[in-house]
Chain A
Amino acid sequence: MIWNDDFETLPREAIEALQLKRLQQTVERVYATVPFYKKAFGKLGIKPADIKSLDDLRKLPFTLKQDMRDNYPYGLFAVPLEQIVRIHASSGTTGKPTVVGYSRRDIDTWTELMARSFVAAGTHKGDIIHNAYGYGLFTGGLGAHYGAERVGASVIPMSGGNTKKQLMIMQDFGSTVLTCTPSYSLYLAEVAAEEGIDIRKLKLKVGILGAEPWSEKMRQEIEDKLNIKAIDIYGLSEILGPGVGIECIEAQNGLHIWEDHFIPEIIDPETGEVLPDGERGELVITTITKEGIPLIRYRTRDITRLIKEPCICGRTHARIERLSGRSDDMLIIRGVNVFPSQIESVLFNIEGVEPHYQLIVEREGTLDTLEVQVEVNEQTFSDEIKILQGLSNKIRKDIKDLLGVTCKVRLVEPKSITRSEGKAKRVIDNRQKNS
Chain B
Amino acid sequence: MKVEQISIFIENKSGRLAEVCGILGQAGVNIRALSLADTSDFGILRLIVKDSEKALKVLREHNFTVSKTEVIGVEVPDSPGGLSTILQILDRNNVNVEYMYAFVERSGDNAVIIFRFDDVDEAITALSKNGVNILKSEMITSI
Which residues 26-63 of B sit at the A interface, judged by CB distance below 8 A? 37-39, 41-42, 44, 46, 63
- Which of these binds chain B: A29-37, A84-92, A277-285, A408-416? A408-416
Do residues A378 and B65 form an inter-chain contact, with CB atoms below 8 A?
yes
Distance, CA A415 to CA B59, complexed state (A): 13
Q: How many residues of B contact A (CB 8 A)?
A: 21
Determine the chain A residues whose CB is within 8 A of the CB of B37 once the complex forms: 385
B41 touching A410, Cβ below 8 Å: yes
0/1 string, B1-35, CB within 8 A of A gives 1: 00001010111000000000000000000000000
Q: How far is the CA of A383 from the CA of B10 in the complex (A)?
A: 11
Which B residues touch A383, using CB under 8 A?
A: 5, 7, 44, 46, 67, 69, 116
Q: Are A414 and B63 in contact (CB under 8 A)?
A: yes
Name the distance in Å between B82's Cβ and chain A's nearest Cβ: 25
Q: Report the bound CA distance from A384 to B39 in whole Å.
A: 11
> Which of B5, B37, B65, B69: most chain A Cβ within 10 A?
B65
Instruction: Check A416 against B11 for contact (C-beta < 8 Å).
Output: yes
Main secondary structure of the interface of A (DSSP, over half): loop
CB contact list, A379-415 vs B, under 8 A: 381-385, 388-389, 410-415
A345 at the interface (CB under 8 A from B): no
User: Which of B10, B44, B46 has the most chain A CB atoms inside 10 A of its CB?
Assistant: B44
Taking a contact as CB atoms under 8 Å apart, the answer to whether B44 and A388 are in contact is: yes
A415 near B42 with CB under 8 A, answer no
A194-231, CB < 8 A from B: none
Contacts of A381 in B (CB 8 A): 7, 9, 65-67
Give Cα A52–Cα B116 distance, bound, in whole angstroms: 79
Are A384 and B99 neighbours in the complex by a CB distance under 8 Å?
A: yes
What residues on A are CB-neighbors of B42 within 8 Å? 376, 388, 410-412
User: In the complex, which residues of chain A have a beta carbon less than 8 angstroms from the beta carbon of B44?
Assistant: 382-385, 388
Interchain CB contact under 8 A, B116 and A385? no
Contacts of B7 in A (CB 8 A): 381-383
Give chain A nearest CB distance to B40 CB in angstroms: 10
B109 at the interface (CB under 8 A from A): no
The 8 closest A-B pairs by CB, nearest first: A383-B7, A415-B63, A381-B65, A383-B69, A376-B9, A376-B65, A410-B41, A385-B37
B contacts, CB < 8 Å to A: 5, 7, 9-11, 37-39, 41-42, 44, 46, 63-67, 69, 98-99, 116
30 contacts between A and B (CB under 8 A): A377-B65, A378-B65, A381-B7, A381-B9, A381-B65, A381-B67, A382-B67, A383-B7, A383-B44, A383-B67, A384-B44, A384-B98, A384-B116, A385-B37, A385-B39, A385-B44, A388-B42, A410-B42, A411-B9, A411-B41, A412-B11, A412-B42, A413-B10, A413-B11, A413-B63, A413-B65, A414-B64, A414-B65, A415-B63, A416-B11
Measured CB to CB, the residues of A under 8 A from B are 376-378, 381-385, 388-389, 410-416
| Beyond A385-B39, A412-B42, 9 extra complex contacts between A and B, CB < 8 Å | A376-B9, A378-B66, A383-B5, A384-B44, A385-B37, A411-B42, A413-B10, A414-B65, A416-B11
